[in-house]
Amino acid sequence: MSWGPENLPYGVFSRQEGQTPRVGVRYGDHVLDLAEALHDEVFATGSLNAFMSRGPAAWRATRTLIQNKLSTDRAVTEGHLVPLDQVTLHLPFEVADYVDFYCSLEHASNLGRMFRPDGEPLMPNWRHLPVGYHGRAGTVVPSGTPIVRPVGQRGAGVFGPSAKLDIEAELGFVVGVPTALGERAGRFEDHVFGVTLVNDWSARDIQAWEYVPLGPFLGKSFATSVSPWVTPLAALSEARVEGRSQDPEPPAYLSRQDPWGLDVRLEVAVNGEVVSRPPYRDMYWTPDQMLAHMTVNGASLRTGDLYASGTVSGAEQTERGSLIELSWNGTEPFKLPDGSTRSFLEDGDVVTITATAPGPGGAVISLGEVSGRIEPAR
Ligand SMILES: O=C(O)/C=C/C(=O)CC(=O)CC(=O)O
Ligand SMILES: [Ca+2]
Ligand SMILES: [Mg+2]
């Protein structure tokens, strides 16, 4: 698994209690302190936003500079490498808006079957546009943040802690370059800086009761966890694949210009045991299409916008990215290797999502992990 010069994901770290968080890249088991190594104050700001707003030419130049320094300037660079076990990792960027899509054909079909058993699994619009909703940016939290079981209404006169607490394994896309109000976004790679792992925690019982007709609200707004690392698009050049074929052909504004399918392989573990391996490459809508859709009405982008793919589920039973699918809404509890069974999450459970992608020369790029432990309702 590579954390070498072909990977170099960005994060925000601090060394000791009280140190102002700063930007670094992960290199092996170290973080390279960029403010020190590159003598650039943009990296001393405690978030990636200012650097991301500089745009793709600056992103490329910085990546090349870091790679050159690491290969030729080791003596100097080593002074700025901080062991990972001596740092605290923070939320890597200030989240502006948070949007969540619904781009897996298999996930959308499975949820349709469970939530709307009497209708067609897919709504009539689903193959014509990437369906999405606006989430709650202020509750996006970094990996490791404890997740308190949400309380809410679960039916008429039914109130209490969620009994169907679930996960959603997703890829998130982080916007660097903004647009003006009324303007449409240009090319995907001219706006999107990189990719991060997302766990969109979901309380299925709260969601099922509240979501008609305006969509997810309190069932998903209590917390969304992200990886501490943002993998720049440049590190995923070997992972790019054609998007899945689409029928019908989408309208012109959604037509794909370049291959932005990504061969990212996710892994979901509950209490350390792998329960699923969702394949991102099988997603129906690609991230360039999501970006085009999100801005076609003239809605502006801001630096730090996060938009997520929606749950990544493949065709196989072992590729489902949520527990509601793995347990078929609790009717088919699944076994953990320790002998216990699960339908939904129990207090104390730890969920960890990791991912890898092919890199240059047979290397395997790691996208890090997003993890969270369930705490009892308050
Ligand atoms: O089909 C529904 O009513 C509900 C769907 C979801 O909960 C999925 C969602 O939040 C988007 C996604 O992650 O795919
Ligand atoms: Ca979701
Ligand atoms: Mg959420």
Same domain, 77 and 139: no
Can you say whether residue 361 is alpha, beta or left, with left for phi > 0 and alpha for psi between -120 and 50 degrees?
left
Q: Token pair for residue 216?
A: 């997810």
Which regions of the chain are under pLDDT 50? Answer: none
Same domain, 232 and 266: yes
Q: What pLDDT, on the 0 to 100 scale, is given for residue 115?
A: 85
Same domain, 255 and 195: yes
Task: Name residues whose C-beta falls within 8 Å of residue 190's C-beta, 6 or more positions apart in sequence.
Answer: 55, 56, 177
Residue nearest to atom 4 of ligand 1 (CA): 111
Same domain, 251 and 158: yes
Catalytic residue among 107, 128, 191, 293: 107
Residue 21: domain span: 10-90
CATH code at position 336: 3.90.850.10
pTM of the model: 0.97
Q: What pLDDT, on the 0 to 100 scale, is given for residue 373?
A: 98
CA dist., res. 3 & res. 359, Å (int): 11
Amino acid (1-letter code) at residue 189: E
Index of the ligand 1 atom closest to the CA of residue 219:
7
Q: Is 102 in the pocket of ligand 1 (CB under 6 A)?
A: yes
Q: What pLDDT, on the 0 to 100 scale, is given for residue 337?
A: 82
Tell me, yes or no, whether 185 lies in a domain.
yes
Same domain, 85 and 102: no
Written in H, E and C, the secondary structure of 35-78 is: HHHHCCHHHHCCCCHHHHCCCHHHHHHHHHHHHHHHHHCHHHHH
Tell me, yes or no, whether 82 lies in a domain.
yes
Q: What is the ipTM of this complex?
A: 0.92
Domains contained in the chain, number: 2
Q: What angle do CA 273, 322, 11 make, to 5 degrees?
A: 75
Whether the Cβ atoms of residue 176 and residue 120 lie closer than 8 Å to each other: no
Distances (CA, A) of 50 to 95, 195, 263: 12, 17, 29
Same domain, 167 and 286: yes
Show which of 90, 113, 142 is a domain's final residue: 90
Tell me, yes or no, whether 5 lies in a domain.
no
Quick one: DSSP state of residue 20?
A: P
Residue 107 annotated as catalytic: yes
CA neighbor of 176 nearest in space, from 163, 193, 190: 193
Alpha-carbon dihedral angle through residues 136, 198, 90, 375, given to the nearest 10 degrees: 80
Same domain, 73 and 110: no
Whether the Cβ atoms of residue 309 and residue 280 lie closer than 8 Å to each other: yes
Q: Which residue carries 């949007």 as its tokens?
A: 99
**Cα 29 to the chain's mean position, in Å?**
22
The residue whose CB lies within 8 Å of the most ligand 1 atoms, and thus the one to mutate among 98, 106, 212, 311, is: 311
Ligand nearest the Cα atom of residue 219: 3
Q: What pLDDT, on the 0 to 100 scale, is given for residue 108?
A: 98
- State the first-to-last Cα distance of the chain, in angstroms, to the nearest integer: 39
Whether the Cβ atoms of residue 354 and residue 266 lie closer than 8 Å to each other: yes
CATH code at position 71: 2.30.30.230
Index of the ligand 1 atom closest to the CA of residue 102:
14
Distance 9 CA to ligand 3 centre (A): 23
Q: DSSP letters along 216-239, please? A: -SHHHHT-EEE-S-BEEGGGGGGG
Q: Which residue carries 């360039």 as its tokens?
A: 288
Distances (CA, A) of 19 to 12, 85, 271: 12, 15, 32
Q: Token pair for residue 24?
A: 């670094």
Same domain, 86 and 162: no
Tell me, yes or no, whether 3 lies in a domain.
no
At 303-325, the pLDDT tens digits run 999 999 999 999 999 999 999 99
The residue whose CB lies within 8 Å of the most ligand 1 atoms, and thus the one to mutate among 99, 106, 107, 220, is: 107
How many helices (H) and strands (E) are present in the chain, helices listed first? 10, 26
Show which of 90, 114, 132 is a domain's final residue: 90
Same domain, 301 and 347: yes
Index of the ligand 1 atom closest to the CA of residue 112:
1
Tell me, yes or no, whether 2 lies in a domain.
no
Same domain, 20 and 123: no
Tell me, yes or no, whether 204 lies in a domain.
yes
Q: Is 210 in the pocket of ligand 1 (CB under 6 A)?
A: no
Q: What pLDDT, on the 0 to 100 scale, is given for residue 104?
A: 98
Residue nearest to atom 8 of ligand 1 (CA): 102
Same domain, 331 and 275: yes
Tell me, yes or no, whether 182 lies in a domain.
yes
**Helix or strand run (H / E) with residue 371:** strand 364-375
Helix, strand, coil in percent for the chain, rounding step 5: 25, 30, 45
Q: Is 310 in the pocket of ligand 1 (CB under 6 A)?
A: yes
Same domain, 291 and 341: yes
Tell me, yes or no, whether 255 lies in a domain.
yes
Show which of 59, 90, 121 is a domain's final residue: 90
Whether the Cβ atoms of residue 357 and residue 264 lie closer than 8 Å to each other: yes
Amino acid (1-letter code) at residue 194: G
Distance 18 CA to ligand 2 centre (A): 34
Q: Which residue carries 């309702």 as its tokens?
A: 377
Distance 287 CA to ligand 3 centre (A): 19
CA dist., res. 335 & res. 342, Å (int): 6
